[in-house]
Chain A
Amino acid sequence: MKLLSLPERLGLVSYRNQAKSEIKPHIIVDTDICNSTCPHKCTTWVCPANCYTMDEDGKVHFQVEDCIECGTCMYACDQGAVDWNFPDPEIGRGVTWNFG
């Protein structure tokens, strides 16, 4: 069986409010902390949806669009950079699982 890449996997997820051009992010990340004092930048590998990425200069960037609300980053970040919440049903993103 062919192994799926992460983008292929995320392509199977049903996201809410997908038609909306602007959504209200439900997780706020203070990347200044990631990019100054954080000794590990672990969100860039522990996140199952790869919402946290590292650029060529080693800087952490966060985008909420692919988030599947798993909660991993809220526990993994021990630096206080992740302000985690659930998405707003009307103007947030987040998931609706078909199987769950």
Chain B
Amino acid sequence: MEDKFDCIVIGGGVAGLAAAMTLARNNMKFLLIEKGEFPGSKNVSGGVLWGSDLNKLVPNYWEEEDGGWDRFINHRRLTFMDEQSSFSLDFKSSHFNEKPYTGVVVLRSKFDNWLAGKVQEAIDASDFAMDSFIATDIKVDEVILENDKAVGIKTGEDEFFADSVIIAEGVNNLLTRQVGLQDKYVPADHMLTGIKEIIRFDQKVLEDRFQLNGLSGMSNEFVGWATNGIEGGGFLYTNRDTISLGLVLGLKDLREKKQKPYDVLNHFKQHPTIADAIKGGEVVEYSAHVVSSGDSRVMPKELYKDGILLVGEAANLLMNAGKAIQGMDYAMRSGILAAETIVEAKAKNDYTSATLKEYRKKMDDSYVMKDIKGFQDAVHLLHTDVMQNKVPNLVCDFGRQFFSIKNEPTPKSEKMLLGAIKRHSSLWELAKLGFKARKSL
């Protein structure tokens, strides 16, 4: 079969493109299939691409006049909210201005398409310039299995064959389910719905409002009142001349509490802190997408089987352990490691689990699985009522007292704090929380 590829990559998101780039650089003959009009056209994320792996894929990407990314992050903020107040942990440092950047804000329709252009350049420079392809507007219906080993894919009446398949289809992982690596039905328990608006400003207004300098940017996460009692949190990221403002809402909780996600988003936008931040902006896009929570209990049973590797959100590689919502960086690293494993498999001419299990080992040795394993308790802790509601209320209550100057004798801060603790929680509950947090974070 002369048309057979070394590998078919399903999905032109961050994970699939990272895999494709690595395959092209290693002179592999591959086909990347994207169901959208162009890579990124169906992709949604918050979103910040954390870490510096992008520099491995596109060295010195910041030198390009108008690259696919929007802004680099040098300003981080975590905000606790109650109805009227917001109390933030705020960290800004010129340390983060150094290259390679450790976080860039991206809009996927632009970023993924740009990255795909870089992959095409790598294909053109490879031995298979005429035989490797990025194909769009094709929906894969099925991974073809022979004796439970992947040998290709089926789309409509057409079939394409390959020694291996990298599934990079994203969180709604129908093919992962088809090949038996994930249950046919995945319950709502550890899944969330992300919902967001892109709000446009005059660029100068945006830069002044958020104190941005050149292409610097800010990421802000919110916990507490933002989600109107639904488990989850909010986010605000600065893009070039827009902001991404949204929420991530626990799906099981939405179901039980009978709330509509777009109503909760309007609730969030009415908070005085948010209302001031978005004043004068124009909403230019509304979007939504499911995300996984980082709870390892929902993850696929394995990351590989004969002829198949799973990467990115198809394998539920996403985690928010309190410091940042990480997903695209996991996607990128897993894509790179999967492609490297395929390169080894080709050298050995063995695409069975015997070789592909090396991918699992590479992942286990990488920060991705180390963090996902190491921070499971933090993921669980973040989703407790104490962290979701009591702590934000307590912190804001304390802040209101601490920063209020009245023309009367001021109580000592400790007394204010104890009062706030008693009103919203208890010393015992906080001691338990502190103990858990110390272990899990």
Contacts and interface: CB of A to CB of B under 8 A. Distances in A.
Interface of A: 1, 3-4, 6, 9-10, 12-13, 16, 40, 42, 45-46, 48-50, 68-72, 74-76, 78, 80, 84-90, 94-100
A97 B284 contact: no
A70 B313 CA distance: 13
B192 to A, nearest CB: 9
Interface of B: 35-37, 40-45, 107-110, 112, 137-139, 171-172, 174, 185-188, 191, 193, 195, 197-198, 242, 251, 254-255, 258-262, 266, 269-270, 275, 278-281, 283-290
A98 B43 CA distance: 10
A86 B43 contact: no
Contact of A72 (B40, B186, B251, B284): B251
B139 A46 contact: no
Given A68-B287, A76-B255, A6 B262 contact: yes
Given A1-B280, A48-B195, A99-B109, A80 B185 contact: yes
9 contacts: A4-B266, A10-B286, A45-B254, A50-B260, A70-B44, A76-B255, A99-B198, A99-B285, A100-B287
Contacts of B109: 96-100
A40 B255 contact: yes
A90 B198 CA distance: 28
The residue among A70, A75, A86 with the most chain B CB atoms within 10 A of its own CB is A75
Contacts of B255: 40, 42, 46, 76
A97 B254 contact: no
Given A46-B251, A96-B36, 14 more contacts: A13-B287, A45-B254, A48-B193, A69-B42, A69-B172, A75-B290, A78-B188, A80-B185, A86-B172, A89-B138, A89-B139, A90-B137, A95-B287, A99-B107
A44 B394 CA distance: 34
A10 B187 CA distance: 27
Nearest to A10: B286
Contact of A97 (B41, B137, B266): B41
Contacts of A12: 283-286
Contacts of B172: 69, 71, 74, 84, 86
Contacts, number: 143
B290 A72 contact: yes
B185 A100 contact: no
Nearest to A1: B278
Contact of B288 (A1, A70, A78, A98): A70
User: Nearest 5 A-B pairs (CB), nearest first?
Assistant: A100-B108, A9-B286, A48-B288, A100-B109, A71-B290
A98 B107 CA distance: 9
Nearest to B113: A100
A1 B254 contact: no
Contact of A75 (B186, B260, B288): B186
A9 B139 CA distance: 27
B17 to A, nearest CB: 14
A12 B287 CA distance: 9
A75 B187 contact: yes
Contacts of A80: 185
B224 to A, nearest CB: 20
Contact of B266 (A3, A16, A40, A76): A3
B191 to A, nearest CB: 5
A89 B141 CA distance: 12
Contacts of A6: 262
A76 B254 contact: yes
A2 B40 CA distance: 29
A46 to B, nearest CB: 5
Contacts of A95: 41-42, 287
Contacts of A74: 172, 186, 290
Contacts of B42: 69, 94-97, 100
A64 to B, nearest CB: 15
A3 B270 contact: yes
Contacts of B286: 4, 9-10, 12-13
Contact of B259 (A16, A45, A75, A85): A45
Given A13-B286, A72-B251, A96 B107 contact: no
A3 B242 CA distance: 17
Contacts of A75: 186-188, 191, 251, 290
A48 B45 CA distance: 15
